[in-house]
Amino acid sequence: MNVRPQLATLEHPIALSVSFNQDCSCFSVGCEDGFHVFSTDPCQLHVTRVLKGGIDSATMLGRANFLALVGGGRSPKYAQNKVIIWDDLKQKAVISLEFHSSIRAVRLSRNRIIVVLQAHVHVYAFSTPPTRLHVFETSDNPLGLVAMSTRTLAFPGRTVGHVQLCDLATGNVSIIPAHTSQLAALTIAQNGDVIATASEKGTIMRLWNVQNCALITELRRGIDKAVIYSLAISPDSSRLAVVSDKNTLHIYSLPTRAAAAAAAAGSGGHRPSSPGAATGDNRKWSLLGKLPLLPKYFSSEWSAAQAVFEGAGKAIVGWPSDDSIVVISCGTKHGGAPRWEKFVLIEGLNGGQGGQGGAPGIECVREGWRRYLDNT
């Protein structure tokens, strides 16, 4: 007879979701009993709302008092086919939108509410009551992929691997044939000039010109398949950050605006014929691309710096400033607590081997971390 006491299973509070606001100055967390709002740098708790039900996603509108809430978890606060616009000043729901299927993602601006479903994207005017302006059909989008700048909305196309770019002012749509396999992540620069995309293969990211849908450059994460969790372009559009299920953070140097425009104008929507056509002096290109008779696929740019993050579960990456990066993980019940981790970029390290022409390299150094749900 086994009389040994059963060992207690260690469980951590986990985040059902985490998301940044538009400038990454704050992040919001959906949990089994409500939501929290933190400042990003430093990581400090600002708001906790206990709603006696699970919130699958809480999406902020800048630093305003409005959030878009979607129910989820073991005991959802709201139906999962409803979007609730929460006014935190009044601490109550002020708008409710109901759909025929589960909500995959929501984005807010001061004049738009974007609702992403499995195969459609709905665009509403942010008014009371909201007015539906557009409905776009997409390919299967279980991840709720969507990215928005002041003027442009990016989301999957009707063909697998394609991206639709919608001009929010006119409703006009352009198509980018970004990948041949399912999209895994996409992001748009704060100035709206470029977007970055990744597919489910997880080996190549591509940078695209929003104005003419031309390919600017390709960025290689690695050779082995990986799940890309999140992409983020720095506020000055000079770098791209990528996090994956390999628990690695990759940093890429991007072309200057002038170089990107010249490369896109001369490429006709295809990759530049040589690495130098789209680069500044601080770019790092694969040595494989210099070997004869190999496809151009192998001449993609490799990361200028990388680091390991320790958080468990799905993670997102954001740029509070041009030289600092924050990775926030959701955690898992038995595999690790949700973590906030800050990294800084330091110029001139790596023995000056970071780029061509003797340009100094950069190093990505972890500056601090915190288990952000421990004291909530």
In the listed set 70, 87, 103, which residue is the last one of a domain according to the structure?
103
CA dist 255 and 232 (Å) reads 15
pLDDT given for residue 265 in this prediction = 65
Asked if the structure places residue 262 within a domain, the reply is: yes
Asked if the structure places residue 29 within a domain, the reply is: yes
CA dist 221 and 228 (Å) reads 9
DSSP 9-26: PP-----SEEEE-TTSSE
**263-291 mean pLDDT:** 46
Asked if the structure places residue 187 within a domain, the reply is: no
pLDDT given for residue 359 in this prediction = 44
From residue 73, how far is each of 145, 316, 357, 371 by CA, in Å? 20, 19, 53, 21
User: Model confidence at 13, in pLDDT bands (50, 70, 90)?
Assistant: confident
Count: domains in the chain: 2
Mean pLDDT, the chain, integer: 87
Per-residue model confidence as pLDDT tens digits over 155-176: 999 999 999 999 999 999 999 9
Q: Is it the case that residue 281 has pLDDT exceeding 50?
A: no
User: Model confidence at 257, in pLDDT bands (50, 70, 90)?
Assistant: low
Asked if the structure places residue 309 within a domain, the reply is: yes
Asked if the structure places residue 316 within a domain, the reply is: yes
**Domain of residue 53, residue span:** 13-103
Domain identity same for 98 and 244: no
Q: Indicate the DSSP class of residue 315.
A: E
Prediction pTM value = 0.86
* Percentage, residues of the chain above pLDDT 70: 82
Domain identity same for 235 and 376: yes
CB under 8 Å to 257, separation ≥6 — which residues?
193, 237
Strands 301-302 and 215-220: parallel
Asked if the structure places residue 171 within a domain, the reply is: no
Asked if the structure places residue 109 within a domain, the reply is: no
pLDDT given for residue 299 in this prediction = 58
**94-108 mean pLDDT:** 97
Q: Is it the case that residue 268 has pLDDT exceeding 90?
A: no
pLDDT given for residue 347 in this prediction = 85
Asked if the structure places residue 34 within a domain, the reply is: yes
Q: Is it the case that residue 280 has pLDDT exceeding 60?
A: no
In the listed set 103, 128, 154, which residue is the last one of a domain according to the structure?
103
